Amino acid sequence: MTDSAADSFVPLPGSERGPLPAAEQAGPVDGSQRIVVTLVTRRRSALPRDLVETPATVTRDELAEQHGTDPADIDFLRIALAPHGLQVTEADPGARQVKVEGSLAALSETFGADLKLVRSPQPGSGQPAEHRYREGSLRIPAELNGIVLAVLGLDDRPQARPHFRRAPALVAEAAGAGTEAAAPAAGPVSYTPPQVAELYKFPAGTDGTGHTLAIIELGGGFGASDLDSYFGGLSLPVPTVTAASVDGAVNQAGQDPNGADGEVLLDIEVAGAVAPGAAQVVYFAPNTDQGFVDAVTTAVHASPTPTAISISWGQSEDVWTAQGRTALDQAMADAAALGITVCVAAGDNGSSDAQTDGQPHTDFPASSPHALACGGTSLRGDAASGAISSETVWNDGAGHGATGGGVSDTFPLPSWQASAGVPARAGAPAGTAPARGVPDVAGCADPQTGYQVLVDGQSMVVGGTSAVAPLWAALVCRMVQSTGKPFGLLQPLLYQGVTAGTAAAGFQDITSGSNGDYSAGPGWDACTGLGSPNGTTLLSQLTATLSSS
């Protein structure tokens, strides 16, 4: 390449990728293969904080007109990429996404990617996956500087792990440095999702009718026979469940009850049993950063607008590129502006988040300030009477799972969390300021006190914070049904009046247990957040707050 040609490109900030441990060369990349990448483009104007953090919402058209991409930028992008042999195949100004197709050779040359074909262990399962791989930074044509903010899809490594655990066959993964399991108060127990909702006093007279609950899946599938059998066994109507395809991924039922199918059926069955009146749309996407961002963006900008989105997949913040984190965080900011509450599992690997460097880590996208981060508890109660006898931090000991939680090393402390008592990150140098604390809320997640589900025809008990995200998404649908007003970003309402060391109204404060580097205590903590819900009291609090605003 000549100097003049090199001068026509500029680095793309946030695109840097470091080496991937255990990656093995699998062969050459076929430069003639054609793929589609996702470009994330700039906004016309920044989203105002009050638009994101208040229940007042805008329509999708208003969001596109005021804070989407200027159509002139898209026209310019189309012209600028054409000489490089790249074609714009799709553009959504409201979602700020442009799909660009080209050969791997042309895409690699344009964006400065030295692509290789490798095999590496998939997050969670450890099974080898073959994928494209790159290191270092990307570049973009200089005339697109400031217009294109992210280029996703060149490197298609598996990006996230599902946050569910089957009982009693627990997967061996580190639960955080120094984690020790508390002695069990009794043997394993299990509940149906409606029994969990009863223990958490979900508000009577609500079932989510009239609302849509979106679920994000990065693998697996579901079959109608499982849904018919499961909900029939609970004497509940089968909810309306629709599968949506993103980036070519489809609903593939019956593949593996111990794999991603377990995640998919857990999400659908918990949400559907707790809010049977809500229509579910399940978005299937490839398990890549591009697929994850595209799935959430598609759900956020769908019609009808969902009331809540449930995400039970994630990975340690530092495993993401900055451009990928920002793109997904901004998609969830759009969700808040549109009145959507995004509920995200906080992870199942304690304070280490399955990283092996001995440091605490938080899971993303749960660590986004635009996500309602959902941690996990061990729940014991009388399903017949609806009385909780004990609830502690979920921690089954090293190798057996514990709730994620901690303090972000990426996102600053949100204003609504400023009085909650979030500490500096464990092990951080003296004087380090507090940052975004995870989780916000919690719910039953321990596989030893887990959920009875049906996966690929097999009855099993499953736990993990994967169950808590759809549980809270269903609760949100039921509370919005009652209030008649969407919540959007729920945290400013939940944290209103919260002070350090003091229990929050509408929650059962979890004060016992640890996830490794963090311990539970009165008020907010980095294990279970504000606590598990008392749905009836919480609805009363929210109704009063909304009516006075």
Q: Is 267 a catalytic residue?
A: yes
Q: How far is CA 397 from CA 150, 355, 380, 425, in A?
A: 39, 16, 18, 22
Task: Give Cα 387 to chain centroid, integer Å.
Answer: 30
Q: Percentages helix, strand, coil for the chain, rounded to the nearest 5?
A: 25, 25, 45
Task: Give Rg (Cα) of the chain.
Answer: 22
**C-alpha dihedral over 196, 202, 208, 209, to 10 degrees?**
110
- Of how many residues is the chain composed? 549
* Other Cβ atoms within 10 Å of 400 Cβ, number: 21
Q: Which of 173, 217, 263, 353 is catalytic?
A: 263
What region, left, alpha or beta, does residue 289 occupy, with left being phi > 0 and alpha being psi -120 to 50 degrees?
alpha
Q: Which of 267, 269, 294, 391 is catalytic?
A: 267
Give the span between the Cα atoms of 316 and 155, in whole angstroms: 18
Q: DSSP characters for 76-140?
A: HHHHHHGGGT-EEEEEETTTTEEEEEEEHHHHHHHHT---EEEEEEPTTT--EEEEEE--B--EE
Q: Which of 466, 509, 517, 532 is catalytic?
A: 466
Q: Is 466 a catalytic residue?
A: yes
CA angle, residues 532, 537, 541, in degrees to nearest 5: 105
Q: Which residues form the catalytic set?
A: 263, 267, 466
